[in-house]
Amino acid sequence: MKILTVLGARPQFIKAAAFSRAIKKYEGVEEIIVHTGQHYDQNMSDVFFKEMDIPLPKYRLHTGGKTHGAMTGQQLEKIEEILLLEKPDIVLVYGDTNSTLAGALAAVKLHIPVAHVEAGLRSYNRKMPEEINRILTDQISSYLFVPSIGARQNLLNEGVNEGKIFVVGDIMYDVSLFYKEKMIKPNWFDSLNLNNFILCTIHRAENTDDAIKLSNIFKGLGLSNKDIILPLHPRTVSKIKEHNISIPSNIKIVEPVGYLEMVWLEVHCDLIVTDSGGVQKEAYFHGKYCVTLREETEWIELVNHGLNKLVGCNDSLIANALCDFAQSEIDIKNIYGNGSTAYQIIRILEAY
Ligand code: UDP
């Protein structure tokens, strides 16, 4: 079986680490990786291939830094050329980026079955580019690997054939379990002289592109008397400059970190504040509560269990949540499977 995997953005490299490692144990299963170049900075891309031992991409496209339409269009054209050359049995895509949609669309038009990992998630906010990418990818995929019963139900509600849906848990849990053993303390950490800290990430376009929302987020974080470490995504860096936002003194901005350092920060922080999808789940995997800088989330199970609080961009809600939110250890287990997602996916694909 020849699987062609399309990757493009940081969370996809991280998810791919689990699958590519599992695949190595299966004889007769070959994986070819296409990197669309959607994320291209060293610390947003290459670091993950190196430290997570992900096989190097056979094809590297250069489609980053463009508008959504231009990026998706170029990816579609170039992935089609590669598919015609490689003739894979299956195209595998992860998550909800432009690379996900372009990979799926190029494949389905050539009648190559598409496997979508992290299918069925919905924010029900169609202004998010990610939501459009998810809905369209799910509609054209043959194998929908969903992380939870709720995601399965979302697909059934949209009329997706039940036989295509497989509840396999969350592949990021496989990744979290494996790399927790290998986590690394960032070399700058001790120089910050912090006893306790909150870990924060901010990158989602709906927050960064709106000057008022972004400045409210920083205002809310600044109202807290706690130290906050913020590894800053390149998009947010440029938007802070563009919107001329001043950074409160309790916020320590650092460069984006590699995954092994990120896990160390997640394990050692008191609380996580984020607008990232992946980081919300990692908070739970590492036993931390999460404050989410969004109005809605795809990972609704965490909110329903009281482990995640949605505060949007309201400065006082943010500040109150940082003060009040419980900080004891979480002991609710296995909301998103048992960490064997990659193996389940391979077995299902092999069987078909
Ligand atoms: N991450 C990382 N370094 C950072 C920030 C995030 O390795 O400086 C990891 C994080 O642990 C998670 C993934 O990147 O596994 C989440 O990616 P991102 O927040 O960019 O995207 P999303 O999950 O929202 O799609």
CA atoms within 13 A on the CB side of 5: 27
**pLDDT tens-digit map of 152-201:** 999 999 999 999 999 999 999 999 999 999 999 999 999 999 989 999 99
> End-to-end distance of the chain based on CA atoms, in angstroms?
10
Average pLDDT of span 240-260: 96
What local confidence, expressed as pLDDT, does residue 1 receive? 95
Q: Which amino acid is at 178?
A: F
Residue 72 φ then ψ, to 5°? -65, -40
Per the prediction, the chain carries an average pLDDT of 95
CATH number for the domain whose boundaries are 2-170+337-351:
3.40.50.2000
- Structure pTM? 0.95
Average pLDDT of span 288-297: 96
Share of the chain above pLDDT 70, in %: 99
**Would you say residue 326 has pLDDT above 70?**
no
Ligand 1: residue whose CA is nearest its atom 3: 257
To test ligand 1's pocket by mutation, which of 177, 262, 296 has the most ligand atoms within 8 angstroms of CB? 262
Average pLDDT of span 254-276: 97
- Locate the ligand 1 atom nearest the alpha carbon of residue 172 and give its number: 15
What local confidence, expressed as pLDDT, does residue 328 receive? 65
Average pLDDT of span 128-135: 96
What local confidence, expressed as pLDDT, does residue 331 receive? 77
- Locate the ligand 1 atom nearest the alpha carbon of residue 48 and give its number: 7
Task: Look up tokens 């193996």; give the residue.
Answer: 343
**pLDDT tens-digit map of 71-98:** 999 999 999 999 999 999 999 999 999 9
- Ligand 1 pocket residues where CB is under 6 Å: 10-11, 14, 201, 203, 231, 256-257, 259, 262, 276-279, 282
CATH number for the domain whose boundaries are 189-324:
3.40.50.2000
What local confidence, expressed as pLDDT, does residue 287 receive? 93
- The structural domains of the chain, with segments of one domain joined by +, span 2-170+337-351, 189-324
Order of strands across the sheet that contains 143-146: 59-60, 30-35, 2-7, 90-94, 114-117, 143-146, 165-167
